Amino acid sequence: MGMKVRNIRTTRTRESIFEALFELISEKDVDKITIQNLTERAQINRATFYAHFQDKYELLDEIIRQSSEELVQQHTNGVCAFTKETIMQLVFAAFEYHQQVKQKCLRNYSKIIPLLSSKLIVALKNYLDLAMQDIYAEERTLYVQIYAHMINEAVTLHTSEQTKLSQQNVAEHIVQMVRLN
- Tell me, what CATH number does 27's domain have? 1.10.10.60
| Domain containing residue 43 | 3-53
- pLDDT > 70? residue 82: yes
State pTM to two decimals.
0.84
Q: Is 62 found in the same domain as 22?
A: no
Q: Are residues 35 and 67 in the same domain?
A: no
Last residue of a domain, one of 53, 71, 90: 53
Q: How many domains does the chain have?
A: 2
Q: Is the pLDDT of residue 149 over 90?
A: yes
CB 6: neighbour CB atoms within 10 A?
Answer: 10
Q: Quote the CA–CA distance of 168 and 170 in Å, as a whole number.
A: 5
pLDDT bucket at 2, cuts 50 / 70 / 90: low
Alpha helices (H) in the chain, listed in sequence order: 3-27, 35-42, 46-52, 56-75, 84-104, 109-131, 140-159, 167-177
Q: Tell me how far apart the alpha carbons of residues 128 and 123 are, in angstroms, rounded to a whole number.
A: 9
